[in-house]
Amino acid sequence: MTELELISLAKQAAKNAYVPYSHHTVGAALLCKNGKVYLGCNIENAAYSPTNCAERTAFFKAVSEGEREFEAIAVVGGYELDFSGYFAPCGVCRQVMAEFCDLKTFRVIFGKNSDEFKVFTLEEILPSGFSPRDLRQP
């Protein structure tokens, strides 16, 4: 699956965002190594802390269905579906990615519009990240 296909799916997912407070819609499309794609949107809450980001929604859906191997995630966001800027995953989402993905090979795609996007490895956006490898016994 191409970056542009993932970005398109992320934009579709953003249409389901529940954002009555910030009005910032975010969508994510998570590509598993087996080719399956899980979509996620951000879901806000009046208490703010229980809010869930689009990236974590996609990951939690995939993991709850038994997926454990991932290739890439595309993320788009903007005020009321205006995808004119790049939206980077928050620190908590990056940490969730580090739980399940290889820092050196997992790709994170920041989508803007149909022909503008940036691709990073997880390691590039989470330098010196903490992962399950750090908890292994010597």
Active site residues: 55
Q: How many CB atoms lie within 10 A of CB 54?
A: 30
| Beta-bridge partners for 113 | 116
Question: How far is the C-alpha of 46 from the C-alpha of 119, rounded, in Å?
Answer: 33
Tokens of residue 92, six digits: 């908590």
Residue type, 105: T
The torsion angles phi and psi of 68, rounded to 5 degrees, stand at -140, -5
Q: Are 51 and 45 in contact (CB under 8 A)?
A: yes
